[in-house]
């Protein structure tokens, strides 16, 4: 059963844990142990050995609460069930007791550092980086807008002027073609002896 002795540590089964997550793990192991004790047939040493080996190989118990239970099973198998120590695997431990700042979790080893030593990113640094990124984004948008062929707020006047000048040029070319055709028709009528002014009346 878990209980608090002070605001930082949590006690489970007589062990005081500094981390709430470790205490929660110990509590779950305590519940597993209760279940196993009610359903385990201790009259069958073979069943106890299978359970013990499975618990050791699959690392079912990691906290002192679980390790204590494994130790009880180990003692039973060696001292009462007459298994040799070679047949009963040793209980693996996941902490370095010589250097309390080193914590071993399965294959990962990390050095635990006090929180004051951790490097923190300054909010000012984050703000400066974000501002630089925003300015670069605005410059990029203006560059894209000024070099784009589609009319936008920056090149709208140039786009409209260019469109109207191209229309004016096109209209001038068409007028010239119409005048040329009219001259050709007039010349043709003269060749045929038709009075162009009389034909128009």
3-class DSSP assignment, residue 90: coil
Who wins on pLDDT, 97 or 161? Answer: 161
- CA angle (24 as vertex; 21, 26 as ends), nearest 5: 110
Contact 75, 37 (CB under 8 A): no
The yes-or-no verdict on residue 49 having pLDDT over 80 is yes
User: What is the band of 136 on the pLDDT scale with cuts at 50, 70, 90?
Assistant: very high
* Terminal C-alpha separation, the chain: 119
Higher pLDDT, 27 or 145: 27
Determine which of 38-47, 49-58, 103-112 has the lowest per-residue pLDDT on average. Answer: 103-112
Smallest CA-to-CA distance from 92 within 112, 66, 118 is with: 66
**Is pLDDT above 60 for 14?**
yes
Which pLDDT score, from 0 to 100, does residue 107 have?
46
The whole-number pLDDT of residue 18 equals: 79
> E-assigned strands of the chain?
2-4, 10-12, 15-17, 102-105, 108-111
The whole-angstrom separation of Cα 61 and Cα 70 is: 8
Residue scoring higher pLDDT (3 or 78): 78
* 8 A C-beta contact, residue 41 and residue 76: no
pLDDT digits (tens, 9 = 90+) for 145-188: 777 766 666 666 777 787 778 888 889 999 999 999 988 888 88
When mean pLDDT is compared over 34-43, 73-82, 170-179, 184-193, the highest value belongs to: 170-179
* Contact by Cβ (8 Å): 55, 47: no
Is residue 117's pLDDT more than 70? no
- Lowest-confidence pick of 6-20, 113-127, 131-145: 113-127
């Amino acid at each position: 059963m878990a209980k608090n002795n002070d605001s930082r540590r949590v006690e489970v089964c007589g062990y005081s844990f500094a981390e709430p997550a470790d205490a929660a793990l110990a509590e779950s192991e305590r519940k597993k142990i209760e279940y196993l004790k009610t359903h385990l047939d201790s009259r069958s040493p073979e069943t106890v050995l299978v359970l013990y080996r499975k618990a050791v190989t699959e690392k079912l118990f990691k906290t002192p609460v679980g390790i204590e239970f494994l130790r009880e099973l180990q003692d039973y198998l060696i001292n009462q069930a007459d298994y040799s120590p070679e047949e009963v695997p040793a209980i693996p431990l996941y902490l370095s007791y010589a250097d309390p700042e080193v914590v071993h979790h399965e294959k990962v080893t990390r050095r635990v550092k006090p929180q004051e030593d951790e490097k923190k990113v300054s909010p000012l640094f984050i703000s400066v980086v974000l501002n630089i990124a925003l300015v670069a984004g605005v410059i990029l948008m203006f560059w894209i807008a000024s070099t784009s062929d589609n009319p936008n707020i920056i090149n709208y006047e140039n786009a409209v002027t260019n469109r109207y000048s191209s229309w004016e040029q096109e209209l001038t070319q068409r007028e010239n073609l119409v005048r040329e055709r009219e001259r050709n028709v007039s010349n043709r009528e003269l060749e045929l002896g038709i009075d162009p002014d009389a034909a128009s009346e």
